[in-house]
Amino acid sequence: MNESIYKQHILEHAQHPHNKAEMEHPTVSLPAKNASCGDSYIVYLDIEDGAIKEATFSGVGCAISQAAASMLTDKLSNLSLEDARAITKEDIFELLGIELSINRQKCALLVWNGFQQALEQYENA
Amino acid sequence: MKPQDIRKDFPQYKADATMAYLDTAATSLTPKPVLEMVNEYYQVYRASVHRGTYESAERATEAYENARASIAAFIGANTDEVVFTAGATASANMLVYALEHSIDWKPGDEIVTSVMEHHAMLLPLQQLAKRKKLVLKYAQLTKDFALDVEDLTELITDRTKIVSVMVASNVTGRINEISSTSLRRRSDVEGPILIRDATAAVGHMPIDVHELDADFIFFSGHKMCGPTGVGILYGKREWLERLEPGCVGGGMVEDVHEKHAEWTEVPGKFEAGTQNIAGVLGLAAATKYLDALGPAAVHVHAQELVTYAEKELAAIDGVTVLAAPAEHNVGIVSFTVEGVHSHDVAGIAGKNSVAVRAGHHCALPLHKALGIESTTRASFYIYNTMSDVDALVASVKEAKELFKV
């Protein structure tokens, strides 16, 4: 790792995350945890008419997982369920705009994983 | 101890001379004699043990059994009380499986352990408790991260069948200075089975199985200069004889019939299949290497680094040190930095070639008992210097600056 992953925009999102709030009446909500590094989040979705009205998250984690959660929830709001499901790992890496080692990729994808599972659960319900 | 000289024995310092490797509690670096021993086996006399009748097979068998003898001597055990396993986790799982099938369990029987245990022992016990409807009880800690002995002894009743307490914590470094008598308080003749997870302790401080006086003790080789994938399960001879094997297959039988089989003698009855022969030989080389340095001197060196690290880290605003005082510490200092997640502290340290670990360190109940999400952990060994501590402290300060806390 030659270049720092702690770029200004990452730190900005990590320390002042967007959409970090518990949702009182979510359509669907799930925990997203990484037991080995101590990240523990809950993701919330408010879904209406086949689209995400609002996506939020709560919990604790490292700067990379926080920043990814902040950026992803920005992107998810007002997205159709289909478009939300179509967001890939690579999209998250692109969103973050930093080179991540294999161990830190898990941090970046933790909340994305949580939202994908929440969407799946909603579709199967 | 002269860590600068010791580093010459560790080729990894050639690959990266600037690294401050402070993650021995996860896995240690490997000294040359261990690498040479592993290589020698693979290059000169690789053969299966206990089977062949040709020269290399004889030599491999002799080396394998000599390795058992020197590892046994390193912990003060009798040679036939040492079983080779794939590591501490394999030892613990195998032991619990064997106990499950060798003892008459009744629903409501109890297991007493502590909140500081590593998942390697805790989870097999938890699963056993579920399967057999046993009660799993946890002793709490005192303020300075020691096991609360009073709490523990109160938990032990006439229904307690197992007491399992680690020798030293892999998070706080705390050495549990507790006598086997306190751990076996039960009044009846047999008393509970005493298990000690010695993974964080062996090779880091003098360990004598007779002093510990436990029925079973286990540890991994890879946190004490040995190769990965090899470990030890020590058991008192009468217990090893009584236990059903936790793993069956080739090489551990006297005779096999269509519907039953007869096990060979201990310790062979616990070593089914072809073992990690190179690993075993490497581990024996590690014990010889550490013996030459002296386990007591190894411990003193780590304690000096703990003293310095605890002082320097505690002096940083917002840092909370979660480690036992040096005199009770095996060589591990965990800490939190207010406003910076442990993974970010470790990430910034990593960028500066300071190897530390972040997270729960496979001890979730401990972190929950301490009321914290995660910690950054620095662990000290024979090759570490005061400069390594300085590099860690500089990284913590850099993290604070970066996160503006």
The torsion angles phi and psi of B377, rounded to 5 degrees, stand at -125, 130
Q: E strands, B14-147, where?
A: 20-21, 82-85, 110-114, 135-139
Q: E strands, B183-331, where?
A: 193-197, 216-220, 231-235, 253-256, 261-263, 319-321
- Residue with token string 């670096």: B29
**Within its chain, how far is the Cα of B310 from the centroid?**
23
- Residue with token string 């499901």: A85
Task: Identify the CA nearest to B375 among candidates B385, B384, B387, B362.
Answer: B362
Residue B318: predicted pLDDT: 97
Find chain A residues with C-beta within 8 A of B343's C-beta.
Answer: 37-39, 61-64, 107
Cβ–Cβ < 8 Å for B244, B235: no
Residue A2: predicted pLDDT: 44
Reply yes or no on whether the pLDDT at B183 is more than 90.
no
Reply yes or no on whether the pLDDT at B188 is more than 70.
no
pLDDT by residue for chain A (125 residues), tens digit each? 446 899 999 999 999 999 999 999 999 999 999 877 778 999 999 999 999 999 999 999 999 999 999 999 999 999 999 999 999 999 999 999 999 988 899 999 999 999 999 999 999 98
Q: What is the ipTM of this complex?
A: 0.85
User: Residue B403 and residue A63: Cβ atoms within 8 Å?
Assistant: yes
Interatomic CA distance for residues B378 and B333, integer angstroms: 5
When scoring A7, A12, A16, A37 by the number of chain B Cβ atoms within 10 A, the one with the most, hence best to mutate, is: A37
Q: Would you call B247 a catalytic residue per the annotation?
A: no
Q: In the predicted model, what is the mean pLDDT of residues B73-78? A: 98
When scoring B343, B362, B395 by the number of chain A Cβ atoms within 10 A, the one with the most, hence best to mutate, is: B343
Does the N-terminal peptide bond of residue B3 adopt cis geometry, omega within 30 degrees of 0?
no
What pTM was computed for the model? 0.93
Asked if A40 has any chain B CB less than 8 Å from its own CB, the reply is: yes
Task: Identify the CA nearest to B367 among candidates B25, B196, B115, B107.
Answer: B115
